[in-house]
Structures are given as C-alpha cells and as structure tokens.
Amino acid sequence: MTSPAPSTMPSFEQLGLPDSLLSMLSEVGYEIPSPIQAACIPYLLAGRDLLGEAQTGTGKTAAFALPTLAKLDLSNMRPQVLVLTPTRELALQVSEAFTKYAHHLQNFHVLPIYGGQSMVVQLRQLSRGAQVIVGTPGRIMDHLERKSLKLDALTMLVLDEADEMLRMGFIDDVEWILEHTPSTRQTALFSATMPATIREVARRHLREPEEVRIRTATSTVEKIRQRYWLVRGVDKLDALTRILDAEEKLDAALVFVRTKIGTEELADKLAARGYAAAALNGDMTQSLRERVIEQLKNGSLDIVIATDVAARGIDVPRISHVINYDIPYDTEAYVHRIGRTGRAGREGVAILFVAPRERRMLKSIEHATRQQIEPIALPSREDVSSLRVSQFKQKVLDTLADPDMELGFFMSVVEELVEENDLSSRELAAALAYLVQAGRPLQIEEEGRGWDQATALHTQGKPLREDIFTTGAPRSRTGRRDANAIPAKVFDNGKVQRYWIAVGRDHGVMPKDIVGAIINESGIEGRSIGQIDLFDDFSTVELPAQLPDDLLNVLRGVVVRSQRLNIRPVRDDENLPVRRPQNRDDPRRDKKPSKPWEKKSGEKRFARSGDFRPPRRDDARQSERRSFADKGKVSGWKKRRGHE
Ligand code: ADP
Ligand code: MG
C-alpha cells in the first residue's frame, strides 16, 4: 500500500486498540498513527502474518508493539512474544518502547536478552519470567539450546530490521530460531529493504502474509535538511569545528566516520578542543556504549562520533545534526545515518563531507533520497571568532545574573589580586578571560596554511589538497590518509580470493565476529565478504581479490578474540579444505554455495551474505540501473531496491 495523507489517517481508536493503550498514547503525545502503524495494526490484531517494509524512523516499533500488547495474557508469565533485533542497542530500545507503551498494563514484563550481558543475570531474569522477550539472534539461540528459554507458549514472533540481520550475517540463526518456535505462532517481519533473501525467509516461514509497504524514501528525509561541503583547502577537522561552532540550532551532533579507530581519534581531538565529545563503537563494552547514549540523551555529551554499525537505530531526539565526516560507502548507509536526526517530528540537518573525487557518490545519494543536496560554504574564521566572542559575553552576563551563583568568595579573591599587584580590574578580567577560553580560543589562529588563503583558492576553484584527515582510513601508497584507498577497480571486477586469518575455533571465534571486525576496521562492505571457513587455530575468509597493501596492513593489525588477524592471501599450494560451521543442526549448512555471488537465480540456498553482489563502486552505472528500475523495466532491481 502507499501512505495515505495524514488527513485520511485513521485514529488509534479506529484501529481497534484497547483503552489502556489509547490513554497511554495520548500521554506520550502520539496524535495519529504513522502510515506503517495504520496499515499493520489491524492485520496484527486480526492475527495475520505480516511482511512490513518501511524505512527507519517510520514508527515500526509501535506498529508491532501496540497490537502485541493488546493481545497479551498478562496473568501468564511465560514468554508469549519474541522480538529479534540485529543489535543490542536495538534490543534495548525496543524493550524500552514496550515498557513505555505498557505503562498502564499491570504485571507486564519485558526482558532484553543480548550477547555480552552476564549469563548469570540473564538466567535469573529468564527464570522469573516475562511475557515479551527482545533479543539478538545469537544469545536467543544459546538460551533455547540450554532450555533456559522455552517458547512453547509463544504466540507471536517479530523480526525487526530483518535486512540488517541479513547484512550482519545472522540470517541462519534467525531461521534456526524460526524453526524452533511453535508453528502456530503469528509472525511479523519488518525490514527497511526487501532483498531476495529476506523475501525467501518470509516465503518459507510466514503464512500467507499481508504485505505492507510504505514508500517513504522521500518523506523520511523530508524533515532533514541535507547539505554538503566539498572538502577542499581546509582540513576536515577544522571544517568540522567551524560547523559545530557556527551552525544555528545545533543541539547534539552525531558524526560518522568509517572506522572504530577513527571514532576514538576524532573524539579525542574534539575533546581536546573543548567539545563534549565521545566515541561510540563496537569495541566498547555494552555498558560503556549505553552510558554514551545516555549522556547524549541527558545533555552531558553533545557530540558522538560513531561507526555505522554502532550507531544503527539510535533514537535520541535531541540529535539535531548528522555529520558525515567520512562519506558512506553506499546510499543505504547514508539514509540510515541521516535517519538518526529528524526524530520524533523534529527537524534535522545532515551535512556530508565530499572530497572532489567522491562527487559521484553525492549524485547517487541525491538520486536515492530524491533530494537536491545543497552545497555550503564554511563559515569564515572571523564568523566563528565573533560567534565565540558573543557566546562568551553572554555566558559572563548569565553568570552575573544568576542568583544561585555565589560570587562573594571570588569577589574577595579578585580584590586581593588587584590590591596586592596594583592591577586594574580590566587587566585582571582580561587575564581571567584568557584562562577561561583556553582549549577553545575565542580568536582562531591560522593553522598551517591560512584559512583565508584557502578560502580564496577554493572560490577560485583550485584544489589545494584533498582528504587530509580522513580519520582512520587506510593510507594510500603515498602514505597519505586516503578515504578512497580501496580502488574501485578491485571491487568492480567482482573477483574474490580466499584469505588466511590467525583466529579460529580454538579462540572461540564466530563468523559474525570476523565479519564485524572486517566491516568496522576496513570499511569493506558486509556484502563483499564471502564464505568464512573456521579451522582450529585459523580461518579463511573470502574477500575481493587483490586487496591493496594499505588495506591489508590495516586488516593485519585488527584484533578479533585477542588474536591479531595477520591476514594474508591463501596460497594455491596450501590446498586448504572447506570447513563450514556445522555447529547447528541446520541441513542447509552443508549445502552452501562456495561462492555466494555465483548463486544461480532461483536457487534457494543461503550464504552468509545471501544477497551478495559485487559492490557498486561505480555509482554512475548504479544510478543508471536505478532509473531503469524506477521505470519498472528491471523488475529484479525494483524488488531489491524496494525502499525507494
Ligand atoms: P523505526 O523502528 O521505524 O525506525 P521507531 O519505532 O524507532 O521507528 O520510531 C521512531 C520515532 O517515532 C520514535 O521516537 C517514536 O517514539 C516516534 N513515534 C512512533 N510512532 C509515533 C506516532 N504515531 N506519533 C508520533 N511519534 C511516533
Ligand atoms: Mg526500529
């Protein structure tokens, strides 16, 4: 279905929700259902299976949580609803949403279950019981196998962000779970996109599902003002701080970089310049990550620098700005990123740093979001200085005006200083002002090459240097940090190669650990990672052939399960056998195609990255394909790119 206009949207009441939920909805301020909610709630209340396709930020959580809550048997503490999410953050977010929506329901219990959390705690919580379990696939499987989680009373199973679960390599786990739950259950699958593999999962495990598809590619980003800055003449860090200083209505900013190391580096640099900034990445412990998000929510942090994976699904309404410090590798990632702002009906701003040679990606993004992205000029040094000065003056005046400030003691210190040293109060105040601004100078120094000179050259269209400071990106052969060090041609030829890595079963590694580390540290896309074979003390992984040395160097140092990967190509004479993970009693494990991208169409086999296709670095070609798909000429594409 397509989205009805808001004026024709039914009310929550008309959707058939009970009073206990209606009163909660008016308390939390949801006036009307979002399109996906209006479409899904009646089906789910009626017990139908459902396949729901809608972008992030469209209100999918309430679309399944509300009808679920309406149907729960609250006198029974056995799990009746299981929600699977790709990440711990999402599991927590979804269970928080359940708690919020169940505000008026007595004896309601929801339990988030995810890897990384103490087993002992989880076992205790599970034995106490909960009607709704929200978890990540791996840990849910663990508990099902240990029989610490019993799902025989399960009436409803929800797969949230199914495409992300696929991207992260969890789809086999998800299917295993589907096979180990009562076949009488109701099933709802939600996804921002509908790749063929997800459709196949739906075909196998859903019963005559109702299909709901909300075309919101444009409306999700409607509330987001998209702009870009062409990286030229000024280094990116400098540009970032100017933007952070000069942007109007900046409340909190989420800054995206490509690597985990990059998040730390940039957070440190910003913190050193006086910003309340912190990193968010997959290396941090769960509790640390939660703390960062909490601090961002409560305002003790203003800037969080994150990787795509770590920031997935974050819902912090005060994020007013998303800054794409490193350009994303594909348009989908971009849409996910900017969806972190413009939440809960607010307006958001997305700013993209684009190096000249990345302009084609910019075009693809414009095409995908069906919006023009406006170029911005960076504020000049003077602009930023005068802004800082006026903010500083205001802060001083605010302090004087604040009745809670006890300035008496400081008055006496100042008087002593003046008398003992024969100073004028002007001199003294100036010295104090100097001390206060330290770390974040009111007057911005010229840094290396002068700002104005850079600006001047920029306006004349002469490139100075590009891509300086692309945080954490691999170094190119010239030793310069280079965002595009993975040359397009390597990925374009679609060839793959088997690589050896120094971590294996004995280290307790799972394929998804390897996938996660490679995605996070190298920026290689999940879909470019082919088959993984686990051996006792090493593994092999299929990646694009002839990865550049710079990238191999980065990967060599990556640590998984305390092992440096020490990656190298497998030599022809090594004759390594194939050892697919067999630990789950899933018959498909034996049947995997050794090269998922050679999978014939219609073949129903599941590779780890089931919808593999060679990454599309050639964006021009990509947009060409898209425009065909848009006209409905290439139906396969149309299906795949269904979110557009
Ligand atoms: P999705 O899962 O589709 O990404 P979420 O369920 O996380 O979206 O919802 C996005 C935001 O919209 C949340 O802040 C949520 O509280 C808010 N929201 C959801 N439904 C409504 C509604 N009917 N009216 C107003 N805000 C809503
Ligand atoms: Mg969601």
Pairing of strands 110-113, 568-569: unpaired
* Backbone torsions φ then ψ of 198, nearest 5 degrees: -70, -40
Supply 444's token pair: 């911005």
The C-alpha atoms of residue 409 and residue 119 are separated, in whole angstroms, by 53
pLDDT average, residue stretch 26-30: 84
pLDDT average, residue stretch 508-513: 84
Q: What is the pLDDT of residue 397?
A: 87
Q: What is the pLDDT of residue 222?
A: 67
List, in order, residues 6 or more apart from 448 with CB less than 8 Å away.
Answer: none
Ligand found nearest the CA of 83:
2
Supply 636's token pair: 């396969």
CATH class of 6-213: alpha beta
**pLDDT interval class at 64 (50, 70, 90):** very high
Q: What is the mean pLDDT of the chain?
A: 78
Ligand found nearest the CA of 162:
2
pLDDT digits (tens, 9 = 90+) for 189-200: 999 888 899 999
Asked whether residue 622 carries a pLDDT value surpassing 70, the answer given is no
**123-159: b (≥16 Cβ within 10 Å) or e:** eebbeeebbbbbbbbebbbbbbeeebbebeebbbbbb
CA 59 to centroid of ligand 2, rounded, Å: 7
The answer to whether 467 and 481 have CB atoms below 8 angstroms apart is yes
Distances in Å between the Cα of 609 and the Cα atoms of 170, 199, 372, 595 are 9, 14, 32, 10
The C-alpha atoms of residue 342 and residue 319 are separated, in whole angstroms, by 8
The whole-model pTM stands at 0.46
Supply 412's token pair: 């006496």
Three-state secondary structure call for residue 376: coil
Q: What is the pLDDT of residue 464?
A: 26
Which helix (H) or strand (E) segment holds residue 191: the answer is strand 186-191
Asked whether residue 346 carries a pLDDT value surpassing 80, the answer given is no
**pLDDT interval class at 488 (50, 70, 90):** very low
Supply 301's token pair: 């942090």
Ligand 1 atom closest to Cα of residue 56: 4
The percentage of residues in the chain with a pLDDT greater than 70, rounded to a whole number, is: 78
pLDDT average, residue stretch 31-44: 91
Supply 541's token pair: 């992984």
**pLDDT interval class at 105 (50, 70, 90):** very high
Ligand 1 pocket member 143 (CB < 6 A): no
Question: Among 63-72, 327-336, 468-477, which stretch is predicted with the lowest mean pLDDT?
Answer: 468-477
pLDDT average, residue stretch 202-208: 95
Instruction: Tell me which of 446 and 523 has the higher pLDDT.
Output: 523
Asked whether residue 132 carries a pLDDT value surpassing 80, the answer given is yes
Residue to probe by mutation, ligand 1, list 315, 340, 343, most atoms within 8 Å of CB: 315
Asked whether residue 305 carries a pLDDT value surpassing 60, the answer given is yes
The answer to whether 239 and 378 have CB atoms below 8 angstroms apart is yes
Which helix (H) or strand (E) segment holds residue 97: the answer is helix 88-101
* Backbone torsions φ then ψ of 618, nearest 5 degrees: -90, 90
The C-alpha atoms of residue 195 and residue 612 are separated, in whole angstroms, by 10
Q: What is the pLDDT of residue 449?
A: 31
**pLDDT interval class at 452 (50, 70, 90):** very low
CA 91 to centroid of ligand 2, rounded, Å: 10
The C-alpha atoms of residue 458 and residue 240 are separated, in whole angstroms, by 17
pLDDT average, residue stretch 391-415: 84
In CATH terms, the superfamily for domain 493-613 is RRM (RNA recognition motif) domain (3.30.70.330)
pLDDT digits (tens, 9 = 90+) for 68-97: 999 999 999 999 999 999 989 899 999 999
CA 94 to centroid of ligand 2, rounded, Å: 7
CA 58 to centroid of ligand 1, rounded, Å: 6
The answer to whether 323 and 255 have CB atoms below 8 angstroms apart is yes
Q: What is the pLDDT of residue 625?
A: 35
Residue to probe by mutation, ligand 1, list 11, 34, 335, 346, most atoms within 8 Å of CB: 34
Most confident segment among 237-246, 383-392, 471-480, 541-550: 237-246
Residue of 393, 378, 381, 407 whose CA lies nearest to 437: 393
**pLDDT interval class at 142 (50, 70, 90):** very high
From atom 17 of ligand 1, which residue's Cα is the shortest distance away?
344
Asked whether residue 424 carries a pLDDT value surpassing 90, the answer given is no
Residue of 163, 361, 314, 324 whose CA lies nearest to 239: 324
Three-state secondary structure call for residue 629: helix
Supply 357's token pair: 């040679």
Asked whether residue 601 carries a pLDDT value surpassing 50, the answer given is no
CA 344 to centroid of ligand 1, rounded, Å: 6
Q: What is the pLDDT of residue 512?
A: 82
pLDDT digits (tens, 9 = 90+) for 527-584: 778 888 888 889 999 888 888 777 888 788 888 887 889 899 988 888 888 776 544 4
CA 279 to centroid of ligand 2, rounded, Å: 23
Residue of 314, 94, 48, 71 whose CA lies nearest to 187: 48
CA 63 to centroid of ligand 1, rounded, Å: 9
List, in order, residues 6 or more apart from 177 with CB less than 8 Å away.
Answer: 82, 84, 137, 140, 141, 144, 157
Residue of 363, 511, 384, 367 whose CA lies nearest to 441: 384
pLDDT average, residue stretch 328-333: 81
Ligand 1 pocket member 30 (CB < 6 A): yes
Topology of domain 224-379, CATH: Rossmann fold (3.40.50)
pLDDT average, residue stretch 180-193: 95
- Residue 174 buriedness (CB in 10 A; 0-12 / 13-18 / 19+): buried
Q: What is the pLDDT of residue 342?
A: 82
Ligand 1 pocket member 58 (CB < 6 A): yes
Three-state secondary structure call for residue 42: helix
**pLDDT interval class at 247 (50, 70, 90):** confident
CA 34 to centroid of ligand 1, rounded, Å: 8
Ligand 1 pocket member 85 (CB < 6 A): no
Ligand 1 pocket member 56 (CB < 6 A): yes
Residue to probe by mutation, ligand 1, list 12, 30, 338, most atoms within 8 Å of CB: 30
